[in-house]
Every structure is written in structure tokens, then in C-alpha cells.
Amino acid sequence: MKPEAENKINHDQYLDAKGLNCPLPILKTKVLLNKMQADEILFVEATDPHSQVDFEAYCARTEHTIIKSDVINEVYRFYIKRTQNPKVI
């Protein structure tokens, strides 16, 4: 088994935000999370170097949970669990 396959988390939705700059990755994430059910997981891939800080801040404010994040080949990857009642920002 490939090492990358061992680290995968099952997710309900996927967002390819590669090539997009701030604030588009967060805005597109917000739209998708708003359509999802509580406890579903969104997997996001982004190339914006500010993604790590932006996603951490967004999730802290809205109470969504970053289950896992990493960077592979300059692609920032986030597994975000939708909270029951996200705070509106």
C-alpha cells in the first residue's frame, strides 16, 4: 500500500481550490460546508501559501474542525468536519 493511501480519511465532499488565491479557497469552502450535514467531512486541496493560516482562522471562528491538514508537493490539504451549528461570520 502506498504511504499516501494509508493517510487518507473518508470524506463526503471534495473541493479542488488549487490555483485559487485568497479569499476564494475559503469562500468556496464556506459555500460547500453550508450545504453539508453536521459531522460530514470536506476534503480541500489548495495551493495558496496562506491557506494554512486562513483555514485555521476560519475554522476557529465558525467552530468547524480541521481533522487533519498536511502539505504534499506544495498542495495544502485539509479534512474539515462540519460542526452542528456553525457560527456565522
Active site positions, annotated: 22
Cα dihedral 25/57/64/2 (nearest 10): 60
CB 80 within 8 A of CB 41: yes
Phi (first) and psi of residue 20, to 5 degrees = -95, 145
